[in-house]
Structure 1
């Protein structure tokens, strides 16, 4: 992970299959979270209700529902670093105000031991 990935103005990309559906332009970092402004692209709208559901679950501290939403997001979407390389694992929140926050890991999470 390079500091360039966290630099203000760097652009991470969100994909559904082979289609880029959003660009996340970094506005700052509060480790382990990275924050960004979101530019939605064609194909994103089908996921907006899922992110809204996730946000409601966070507000209600419904941990089981948060986990379910995170799983659905990671199952449907992939993320790339500014250099185009894939992000192995991520936890992404896209808010109604056009901002996002996420954390990532360089290697897939080991779900077998959870």
Structure 2
């Protein structure tokens, strides 16, 4: 099935997996393209990844960086997230590439692409 990069309906549920275990449900709540926003339902198995998403938040709000973010640390977090977790579309097919921000307040922001990212720039377009 082809999944164009367009706005899926509010209420659609995307899923995050660690191996074959579903660890998060992401219910679409809105858009501010290129970002899609979702409510996060954490499931058993998500807990080990919470510190990684917290580190990612700190990289996005780095007071020691003039741009307010630590790009190298952010790219490293994104790579670790994509190496450990996979995302599926509402129909259950895999999302080839994504950037995901799971915030501590139960909300998430994400971008996705239906084609794999190039291997030479894993963080390209992440900011």
TM-score, structure 1 normalization: 0.94
Shift of 1:113: 6.3
TM-score, structure 2 normalization: 0.85
How many residue pairs get aligned? The number is: 114
Greater C-alpha radius of gyration: 2
Mind listing any 5+ residue stretches in structure 2 that lack a counterpart? Answer: 63-68, 123-127
Mind listing any 5+ residue stretches in structure 1 that lack a counterpart? Answer: none
Runs of 4+ in 1 over 4 A off after TM superposition: 2-5
Question: Match of 1:79?
Answer: 87
SS at match of 2:93: coil
Structure with the bigger percentage of helix: 1
CA 1:64–1:5 in structure 2 vs 1: closer, same or farther (change >3 Å)? same
Question: Match of 2:54?
Answer: 52
Shift of 1:10: 0.4
Aligned CA RMSD, in angstroms, stands at: 1.7
Question: Match of 1:24?
Answer: 26
